[in-house]
Structure 1
Amino acid sequence: MPVRLRKFIGTILIVVLVLLYALVANTIAVATLGSAPWWGHLLYFSLTGLLWVLPAMLIIKWMAGPKQQ
């Protein structure tokens, strides 16, 4: 697969990932954190704010392609 096509597909996947992840994370927060203390909100949004990076790293690694030797 050409590098330009791989990067284009990866860019679209990252945008979709971020949008879906934000929707799911906020839906879970609204459903479960209604009566939680402020530190519960802080902990939840800190963790979920960083957790999307893991699948994004896999997509970026795929976009880079195989290592050149």
Structure 2
Amino acid sequence: MTIRTRKFLGAIALLVLATVWALVGMVLAQNAWIASSGWRQAIYYVVVGMGWVLPAMPIVSWMQRPNRA
């Protein structure tokens, strides 16, 4: 697979990951335990906001691999 194809597929995968991550994060934020406290909300949004980076790292490293002969 060429690097151009991997970058295209990786970009699509990252868009899907970010969209699903945001939607799941919004649904979970409606939990009464989180919504009842401002501190819990702040911690939750920081963790969820930065949390998508961990699953995105393997996708980005896969996109950056050189072409195989």
TM-score (norm 1): 0.87
1:2 is matched with 2
Query: 2: CA distance between counterparts of 1:39 and 1:27?
Result: 18
Q: For 1:22, what is the secondary structure of its paired residue?
A: helix
The superposition leaves residues 45-64 of structure 1 with CA deviations (integer Å, 9 ceiling, x where unpaired) of 00010010011111000001
Structure 1: gaps spanning 5 or more residues: none
Instruction: Check conservation: 2:7, 2:63, Cα contact below 8 A.
Output: yes
1:30 is matched with 30
Within a 5 Å distance, the mapping from 1:8-47 to structure 2 comes to 8-32=8-32, 33-35=34-36, 37-47=37-47
Instruction: Check conservation: 2:10, 2:60, Cα contact below 8 A.
Output: yes
More moved, 53-62 vs 26-35: 26-35
**Percent of aligned pairs with the same residue?**
42
**Aligned partner of 2:60: which letter?**
I
Q: CA RMSD in A?
A: 1.1
Within a 5 Å distance, the mapping from 1:46-65 to structure 2 comes to 46-65=46-65
**Aligned partner of 1:24: which letter?**
V
Query: 2: CA distance between counterparts of 1:50 and 1:34?
Result: 19
User: Offset at 1:65?
Assistant: 1.1
Structure 2: gaps spanning 5 or more residues: none
